[in-house]
Structures are given as C-alpha cells and as structure tokens.
Structure 1
Amino acid sequence: MTLTQVAREAGVSVSTVSRYLRGQLKVQDKTAQRIDNAVRTTGYRVDRGARRDGFIAMVVAELTNPFYASLAEECSTLAAEAGYSLLIAASGRQHARENALSAQLSSTDSIAGLIFAGMHRTNPELERAIAGGLPVVVIDEEVDLSPSTAVSTVTVDNYGGAYQATSYLATLGHRRIAHVGGPPGLLTSEDRLRGYRDALAAHGLAADETLVLRGPYTEEYGASVVPYLTRVEAPTAVFVGSDIVAVGLLSGAELQGLRIPEDLSVVGCDGIQLGQWLRPRLTTLAQPVRALAHAALEALGRVIDSPGETTRQVLPLQLVVRGSAVAPRTTPEA
C-alpha cells in the first residue's frame, strides 16, 4: 500500500501524511485521527526504523548557467556535510516544468525538504506543497504566494548591487551607460533595473530608455545585443544583469570589431568563475554563492525542525573590479 492511498483515504495531501508519520508535522487532532484510521484501513506499514529523512531536493532553473551549477554544487557539498543526500532537478527555465517538479517532489515520501531556485514568479504547485506541510526554502528568485502562505527566503540585494555597479561606471567618467537586463517580470531583473536607474539619477545622468535592453539570461542574447550598442550615440559602458549574458556580449563584440574595454566598458553580475578567465577579465557583481547555500540549508533545517517558522535573509553582492571596465577615452559633457 502506498502513501497516496493513505492520503486519499484520509482526505489530505501525500506530503501531509508523509511528514505526520515521520513526526515532522503537527496536525489537528481530527486530522491525525483520520490519518491513523487510514493507515489501519489500508494496511500501510510505517517503517519507523528507516532513515526516510535523509534526502532533500533542489530545483534550479538550469544547470548550463554556471551560477546555478555552482549554487547546486555548494548546496550538495554542504548537505553532505550535514548528513543529507541532495537530489537536484533542473526545470530548463520552463514554467510548466517548475510546477510539475514541485508537485512530484511534494508527493515523494523520501523527501524531507525542498530548496527552490526557479525563474518564475508564480507556482501554484509549490504553494500547495508548502500548504501541505513540505518544508521549503526559496532562494535567489522570489515566488509570489497568497498572503496566507509563508515561506522562508534567501536572496541577495539586487537593487543595491546594481546601484553600486552603475555608480562605479559613472565614477569612472562614463555618461552614456546602457543596461542589458533579464526577462521582464522577474524580481531580480526589476530590482537591478531600478538600481541602475536610481544610480544614474544620483549622478545627474539622464535615463535613456533606448539604452535599456531586456532578454533571457543566455550567451546568445548577449551576443545579439551588440549591434544595438554600436549605433550613433552609442554608450561607452554597459551594466549587464548576468555574467553569462556578458560572456556572449564579449564574444559578439569581438566579431563586430568592438574593443572591450577601449570602446565599451562592461560590468556583469553573478561572479561566475569563467569571468576571471575571459580576456579582458570581467568586472562583476559577485554572488555570495557559498553563503547563499549555507543560509538556505540552515533555513531549511529550521523549517524542518519547527514547521510554520519562516525567515527572510538578504545577502550583499560584492563588486569585483577587473579589466573589462575602465575610464572612457574621452569624457563627454554630462
């Protein structure tokens, strides 16, 4: 007999049954009685001695992006040190797959908790899983939930980082600064765009909306924006909202005869290791990947030990200055 049959008999979710039987979830007396009766009715055998709480799951948007790959690697390492095995699933940046993975993992008896690093603002199945008692921590990109659903989050200060990066370019003497941002609607993208705009205003620079480009976090998109950065009244600098996009931009610039940083200074965001091997080496806002992983696992542990208790952590981004951003050859008038 399976947990699914027990859950159907008791009229509750599979994750509720699983966590109740493992002692990880407190439920109302009437609910507990229904579950206990369902266990007896179906003949389900509760293996009290099995180590059923030794697995946690992690959903990431993709593994081809080095940021997500390094984040998953850090989480895996730290989970192992804490005595857990980490199961990693990639959604391929697809909304439907993020929902499907949330549903599948919440119904899996052996999963003690979930670290969720998706790329979409909504996820009805994740909300159902949280409401059903699955311990969840959302990291990097926040998810919109109903007011009655609370979840622990670990994010970074995207607004402050973007403000710092744009201010750095302005301090170098750049007056036309472009922004190549992520997909519209993502909180990370919107916060970085807001930080960019506010930094321009703080330095007395007029915002030119023709210098704001939005698209997916891919190398292909980075290469495709280069023609827009080489037109009349071209920018002398650009803040790119993702290192992997900046990688594509640097490659596309070379093909177009655009010299980095002589013709265009570039600052990226994420701090992927590949950036230090590019030529020129990429100036970037470094994500605190290990700190993110450590905070996520600590937060998940608290949720597992104390269901209903949630926390919110915001970590800083660090500007790492390398060779891809320098003062413009001539400083135009503001």
Structure 2
Amino acid sequence: MKESAPLTMKDIAQALGISVATVSRALQDNPRISKERRQVVQQYAREHNFTPNMLAESLRHSRVQPVKTIGVIIPELVHYFFSTILAGIEEEASARGYRIMVAQSMEHYEREVQLCQSFFENKVCGIIVSQAKNTQDYSHFRRLIDAGVPLVFYDRICTGVDASRVVVDDYMAAYNAVSYLIQTGCRRIAYYGSQMNLEIAKNRFNGYKDALLKHGLPFDEHLTRICDNRHDAEMITPDMFNDTPYPDAFFAVNDDTALGILYTVKRMGLRVPEDVSICGFSNGIRAVSCEPMLTTIEQHGRKVGEEAVDILLGHVEGRIPKEKVEKRVVRTRLIIRGTTR
C-alpha cells in the first residue's frame, strides 16, 4: 500500500480553517496566538503525527537557497577507518553539489534512534549509516525506508533491513591474513573479535576459522576472545599465556586491539615476531608509529565513502530505483610489516 504524504502546516491550516502563519506561530507557542487556539493546533498536530520541517523553517526567512543535504551517522570518529570513510563521503558529496550533516552515535542505540529522527525532521535527502555495536532493534531504520528516505549502510550493515550497502571483503581479508600467518610457520593463532551480532564480526571470524581448517589446523575455541579495543586486549592477553602451548600469533579485529596485544606481549618479555606474530585490521596511522610496525589489512575507507555516496545519490536522483537494493564490495589488501615473520 502506498505511503500517505507527510502532514504539512498547510494541511493543518485547511483542516482547522485558519492561516498557515497562525499554525506556524501556534506550533512555536507564540503568545500572539491565544492559548486556546495554540492548544487546538498543537493537539491536532500530535494526533496526526505532524513532524515539522526544521530546515525549511530555518530557510523560510533567509535569502539563501535550500541546500541538498545528506545525513551521515558515524559510530565514533576516533577510529581511523571511520574518519577516512567520512573524508570519502564529504569529497564525493561536495563534488556532486551536496553537503553533509554528520553526527556520531557513540555506539549507543538510543542516540542512533534520535539521530535518525533528527535527520528525518531536517528533511535530508538521504542517510548514510554504520550501525552502533549494540543495535538489535532495527525499527528506526525501517521507519525511514517506509517514509521514502533513501538509506545506505556502510561497514556495519543491518541484515534485518533490506537496504543498499557498501562493505569491504571482510571474510576474504581475514582468510588471507590468517593464511599468511600459517604460511610463515604459525600454528596456534588466537582470534580477538567483536560481538557476533555484527555481520562484519561473523564474516571475519568465519574467514579466520576457514583458513585454519583449509590448512589442516584444528579450530580451538579457547584461542578466541570477544575483544575489540586496546584496553581489553591489555587485560585479556596475559591470561592467554597461562597454559602451554601458548599462542604463537594473534589476529585482531582492528589495529587498536592489535596494538594492545603488541604492547602487552613486549611488556611480558616476548619477542615480536620471533615468539609471537600479530596482525591487525584497518591500516591506521598508529600501525606505522609502533615498534615493530604493524602488519595489517588496508580497508580503503575513502573508497567505501565514495561508493556509499554514489549509491545514495543514485537513489535520490533516480538512476537507481528506490526499491532496488544495491550491494557493493571494496577489496582489501594485506600490508606486511614487522609484527609478522
């Protein structure tokens, strides 16, 4: 069934037999409108789920022409990968005559919901988003799609929502990295990954596991940990060496975690890579500011951002039908440095 058009102030004015200006003032609680009239207008707006177009209101009294704006939700800007994606989004959007409105979810589901609502109220032409770690209810994304707002996921895609997405080849990246560790002589490879509710976590874990099996090594669940940040890596890693034989390699879900492992094993007196090899995932700036420098996976974040904009604007401008789910994969590359043999 076709979605009804969003209620406008003009609709309210016609329904109540008053002017649009009166509706606008009443919704803003302007004292120039009687208290009784304000209550009538506000109650009608609530009952009919009226959402004000805040951007239009701000431009109503401006000589500046409305701009084409894309909403972007980043989990956390502190992560190198997300900052490079944002750079790609901004450059591509600007080159095509669009601006971006950026916000961080800070890895909180509730904030993510609020940001989606805020972008909708500001009438962005579409939204590019990477979901928060703990998001398991996807109704806020479905509401956007039902309202006709183009939505493109990147990196952390939402499998519970049928929307376009851009990802890197997480499975093959993990498979190739672990295969390389095995080829250099490693036999007990530990895995530090994220919660399995994220699709990227599942893909990287499966790549790790399949590489072991492909090369005839047993999968040992005692060598796997839920750990995706430096602090936790520094806390968990010493326990990995309580039993023998201990790990001779670590594959980490991101560079931050890998650096926590590197710092800890060196503090314990182990040599890297002679005793322990370490591989990260991201190829951020810190990967080359440690000793030895970190072997890791280049994710090509700028390319991810550019592809996300291209898909979104394809939906916005009609080159890609809104109902079509566009899926694109950006290839990764293993960067071999000093933390592996």
TM-score by length of structure 2 reads: 0.79
User: Residue 324 of structure 2: which of 290, 306, 309 is its match?
Assistant: 309
1:255 to partner: Cα distance: 2.5
User: Residue 126 of structure 2: which of 113, 117, 141 is its match?
Assistant: 113
Residue 183 of structure 2 corresponds to residue 171 of structure 1: yes
In the TM superposition, 1:50-199 aligns within 5 A as 51-109=65-123, 111-119=124-132, 120-145=135-160, 150-199=162-211
Distance in 1, Cα, partners of 2:4 & 2:137: 29
Query: Does the 8 A contact of 2:72 with 2:100 survive in 1?
Result: yes
Distance in 2, Cα, partners of 1:184 & 1:40: 50
SS in 1 for 2:225: strand
1:320 to partner: Cα distance: 0.8
1:40 to partner: Cα distance: 6.0
SS in 2 for 1:298: helix
1:283 partner amino acid: T
Residues 158-199 of structure 1, C-alpha deviation per residue, up to 9 Å, x if partnerless? 111111111001111111111111123211111111111111
User: Residue 43 of structure 1: which of 20, 23, 32 is its match?
Assistant: 20
Show the counterpart of 1:330. Answer: none
Structure 1: unaligned runs, 5 residues or longer: 1-26, 327-334
Residues 292-301 or 180-189, more deviating: 180-189
1:66 partner amino acid: Y
Residues 210-248 of structure 1, C-alpha deviation per residue, up to 9 Å, x if partnerless? 001113x32212222221332321111111111111122
Distance in 1, Cα, partners of 2:274 & 2:230: 22
Distance in 2, Cα, partners of 1:178 & 1:168: 14
Residues 301-310 or 259-268, more deviating: 301-310
Query: Does the 8 A contact of 1:121 with 1:144 survive in 2?
Result: no
Residues 121-130 or 59-68, more deviating: 121-130
In the TM superposition, 1:190-209 aligns within 5 A as 190-209=202-221
Residue 234 of structure 2 corresponds to residue 223 of structure 1: yes
Residues 188-197 or 71-80, more deviating: 71-80
- 1:182 and 1:33, CA in 2 relative to 1: closer, same or farther beyond 3 A? closer
1:84 to partner: Cα distance: 2.0
Residues 42-94 of structure 1, C-alpha deviation per residue, up to 9 Å, x if partnerless? 627986x9643422111011112222122222322322222222221111111
Query: Does the 8 A contact of 1:56 with 1:85 survive in 2?
Result: yes
Distance in 2, Cα, partners of 1:33 & 1:234: 61
Query: Does the 8 A contact of 1:286 with 1:317 survive in 2?
Result: yes
Pair member with larger Rg: 2
Between the aligned residues of both structures, percent identity stands at 27
SS in 2 for 1:299: helix
Distance in 1, Cα, partners of 2:10 & 2:69: 27
Query: Does the 8 A contact of 1:122 with 1:143 survive in 2?
Result: no
Query: Does the 8 A contact of 1:238 with 1:264 survive in 2?
Result: yes
1:43 partner amino acid: V
Residues 227-281 of structure 1, C-alpha deviation per residue, up to 9 Å, x if partnerless? 1332321111111111111122222223222322122100111121221222111
Distance in 1, Cα, partners of 2:139 & 2:268: 44
2:195 partner amino acid: P
SS in 2 for 1:153: strand
Cα RMSD (Å):
2.5
TM-score by length of structure 1 reads: 0.81
Query: Does the 8 A contact of 1:159 with 1:192 survive in 2?
Result: yes
Query: Does the 8 A contact of 1:127 with 1:145 survive in 2?
Result: no
Distance in 2, Cα, partners of 1:293 & 1:224: 34
Distance in 2, Cα, partners of 1:259 & 1:309: 52
1:105 to partner: Cα distance: 1.2
Distance in 1, Cα, partners of 2:99 & 2:328: 24
Query: Does the 8 A contact of 2:88 with 2:303 survive in 1?
Result: no
Query: Does the 8 A contact of 2:159 with 2:199 survive in 1?
Result: no
Distance in 2, Cα, partners of 1:68 & 1:228: 31
Structure 2: unaligned runs, 5 residues or longer: 25-55
1:121 to partner: Cα distance: 4.8
Residues 78-124 of structure 1, C-alpha deviation per residue, up to 9 Å, x if partnerless? 22222222221111111221122112212213x22211012335432
